[in-house]
Amino acid sequence: GKIYKPHFLKKVVNPMKSEIVSEPQPTVLHASTIQEKDWDTIQEYYLLSNVFVTASSSETQGLTVIEAMSASLPVICIDDDSFKETVNHRVNGLVFKEKKGYIRYVLEISSNEKLYNKLRVQARDSSNMHSIKFFADKVIEVYNIAIKNYPKTRIPVLEKL
């Protein structure tokens, strides 16, 4: 049975384009749809929602997914290359291949509060791997390894000076 009433945030890139998320939703859904004109207030949608859903295959970097995850929203997304580095199936979100899978995962996360809570925590934790601080720490780590392994030999040009 249904344990709680999640609020889903659906991303529709082009409302005129037929996307999976534009199909009739299962009756359990309380959903908001964001479109390109809503980007100025996107953080308000994240705060009102419990789950982020996208069937977009036009993402180039999956930034909206990372933003949603940083707001502790588990992600239900289509199996697309733009999400492969971000969404791990049953770790921080759910990945579907076709409309039936999409509906199945929406119903599953709506009725399984334990799964929802696990994905929510993992979504937030894994979003940190895409933060500026995480990136800077990785760059520093690479530079420290390079400096440590740099050969301690003399450079002939400098000897002439």
Question: Counting beta carbons within 10 angstroms of the beta carbon of residue 44, is it exposed (0 to 12), middle (13 to 18) or buried (19 or more)?
Answer: exposed
pLDDT(118) > 60? yes
User: For the segment 21-73, what is each residue's pLDDT rounded down to a tens digit?
Assistant: 444 444 445 666 666 555 677 777 788 888 888 888 776 657 888 889 999 99
Higher local confidence (pLDDT), 122 or 55: 122
- Contact between 111 and 3 under an 8 Å Cβ cutoff? The reply is yes
Of 4, 28, 9, 5, the residue nearest 93 (C-alpha):
9
Q: Residue 39 half-sphere exposure, CB side, CA atoms within 13 Å?
A: 7
Strands 51-54 and 7-11: what pairing? Answer: parallel
Whether residue 76 is predicted with pLDDT greater than 80 in this model: the reply is yes
Question: What's the pLDDT at 128?
Answer: 86
Task: Return the bridge partners of 75, or none.
Answer: 52, 93
* 10 backbone dihedrals φ, ψ, rounded to 5°: -105, 135
pLDDT at residue 90 is higher than 90? yes
- Terminal-residue alpha carbon distance, the chain: 80
Q: From CA 65, how far away is CA 127, in angstroms rounded?
A: 9
